[in-house]
Structure 1
Amino acid sequence: MGSEGQGRAAEHLVDNTEQGRFELYRGDDLVGWLFYTHLKPNRYALLHTEVEPTHQHQGVAGAMVARVLDEIRTRGGTVTAICPFVVDYLSRTEGYADLIDPRHPGYSDRATAEAARANNRR
């Protein structure tokens, strides 16, 4: 038996509809979450990604976004990318272009998404 996977607890994704976020757990520990709004007919506006400080720089955000996109695909949904991290992830990762909603794609690049977020905070 190899040492692959040892030292890292199993990850699982939970859709916390009450809080409007997907949550990534490693074992029993909540390590990150991605806020969303579920719009009709079956579109998810992906709004904001957060990672627990103790789990930053460990690939949590990327793993979580991939799991969220895979989950949305299984639901037959589309995404509108608002979160700068999600926008960046989609721009550098192949295999998810089919999930971007053609009528409401969101932002096309991270800089635009971050500028829009900064303007909304004012």
Structure 2
Amino acid sequence: MSGEMQGPVDEQLIDNVDLGRFELYRDDNLVGWLYYTHLKPNRNALRHTEVESSHQHQGVAGALVGRVLDEIRSREGTITAICPFVVDYLSRTTIYADLVDPRHPGYADRAAAESALAQARG
């Protein structure tokens, strides 16, 4: 039988200011990170989300983005969505609409974000 019961996962979000990224740890293992640029007065450009290959397709990216948005809300900040995954995440919910900076919202949809990213890479 392969029906082993697993206990709850210990999850922690760390703001690694030195690397400019939020890091998500599960059971003390780094499983994903989201790069950001802190802009004045209290705006964060969310630039790129990555998940460790061994943890892909396990809901890490969604959990990470949700935790990051909750953290930014707790700091009374706003966001500019540049990362295609973040843009897509925001398009599926209105819970975080108040965090999007009205003057600098970022990209309106995932296709626009991906297109801009491809052009930037040359």
Please confirm whether the aligned pair reaches a TM-score higher than 0.5, indicating the same fold: yes
SS of equivalent to 1:98: helix
TM (normalized to structure 2)? 0.94
> Is 1:51 the equivalent of 2:51?
yes
Superposed displacement of residue 99, structure 1: 0.2
Q: CA deviation at 1:94?
A: 2.5
How many Å separate the matches in 1 of 2:16 and 2:98? 25
- The normalised TM-score by structure 1 is 0.94
Please tell me the residue identity of whatever aligns with 2:44.
Y
Q: CA deviation at 1:8?
A: 4.7
Q: Where in structure 1 do 4 or more consecutive aligned residues deviate above 2 Å?
A: 5-9
What are the Cα deviations for residues 76-116 of structure 1, in whole angstroms up to 9, with x where unaligned? 00000000000000000220000000000000000000000
Matched with 1:114 is 114
Cα distance in 2 for residues equivalent to 1:66 and 1:9: 16
Q: Deviations over 1:17-58 (max 9, x none)?
A: 000000000011000000000000000000000000000000
Identity %: 74
Contact 1:8 1:26 in 2 (8 A): no
Instruction: Write the distance in 2 (CA, Å) between the matches of 1:44 and 1:21.
Output: 11
Alignment of 1:25-36 (within 5 A): 25-36=25-36
Letter in 2 for 1:68: V
In structure 2, C-alpha distance between the alignment counterparts of 1:119 and 1:90, rounded to whole Å: 22
Tell whether the 8 Å contact from 1:32 to 1:61 is kept in structure 2 after alignment.
yes
**Do the aligned partners of 1:65 and 1:86 also contact (CA within 8 Å) in 2?**
yes
**Hey, what does 1:17 align to over in structure 2?**
17
Determine the structure 2 residue equivalent to 1:93.
93
Gaps of 5+ in 2: none
Say how many residue pairs are matched. 118
1:70 is paired with a residue whose SS is helix
Measured in 2, the distance between the counterparts of 1:61 and 1:8 equals 18
**Equivalents in 1 of 2:8, 2:20: separation in Å?**
27
